[in-house]
Amino acid sequence: MDKIPDIIIGRLPIYLRALQRMEEKGLQTTSSQELGEHVGISAAQIRKDISQFGEFGKQGTGYNISYLIEKLRQILKVDRIWDMAIVGMGDMGHALARYQGFTDRGFQVVRIFDNDPEKIGQKVGDLVIEDSADLAEKIGAAGIKVVMLTVPATAAQEVANQLVQAGVKAILNYAPTSISVPPDVRVQHIDPAVHLQRMTFYL
């Protein structure tokens, strides 16, 4: 499945999210048309995307929602719970540490770090902020592969280097800067100003 274009992979979490919402509402089956209306993607595109991975729907009867959820979870490897760490406990780090939307989607925050002596030792929910001084050792020993990076832009690359050294393979980067990582490490960026600027072009 390595040859599947990244843009298709990027749409699968959107489908999964919409299906989970349908399931919460008590729905049992759906069609590519109905799913398409929910996510703003054409029915033909959805059928094509999903068919890359197998035959999960039936002509005429559509998709069984819970079955398709199960399959998408397997494909995206969120049929398990990934332990995550947050590095950088500013406002965004705090918001993410308390975010309720991870647990039924394959993730849980298990460790939180900062380098500020005044923050270290403080509790955020059930977690205690740990010193990031020996970050690589702690992350490596815990076997954590997924990290949310919420440090200032000036610190992002240095911390990313430590995460790579610790064996981290997926970084969700909230720092407003690009970071360089080896090819076997994935990075996704969340920067509200970048998303906003992408829209103002059209205004």
Q: Which residues of the chain form contacts with a copy of itself (CB under 8 A)? A: 9-10, 12-14, 16-18, 21, 37-40, 75-78, 82, 84, 91-92, 94-96, 98-99, 101-102, 105-107, 145-146, 148, 153, 169-170, 172, 176-178, 180, 186-188, 190-203
CB of 65 to a copy of itself, least distance (A): 16
- Which of 37, 131 has the CB closer to a copy of itself? 37
Minimum separation from the CB atom of position 163 to a copy of itself (A): 13
C-alpha distance from residue 176 to each of 87, 162, 179, 187 (Å): 14, 18, 10, 13
Please state the closest distance from residue 187 (CB atom) to a copy of itself, in A.
8
Closest CB to a copy of itself among 61 and 80?
80
Q: Which is nearer to a copy of itself, 123 or 198 (CB)?
A: 198
Distance in angstroms (rounded) separating the CA atoms of residues 169 and 136: 13
**Rounded to an integer, what distance in angstroms lies between the CA atom of residue 58 and that of residue 199?**
38
Q: Least distance to a copy of itself from the beta carbon of 152, Å?
A: 9
Q: Which is nearer to a copy of itself, 94 or 119 (CB)?
A: 94
Contact 167, 146 (CB under 8 A): no
Cα–Cα distance for residue pair 192/198, rounded to 1 Å? 10
- Nearer Cβ to a copy of itself (14/120): 14
Question: Is the Cβ–Cβ distance between 177 and 120 less than 8 Å?
Answer: no
How near is the Cβ of 96 to a copy of itself at its closest, in Å?
A: 7
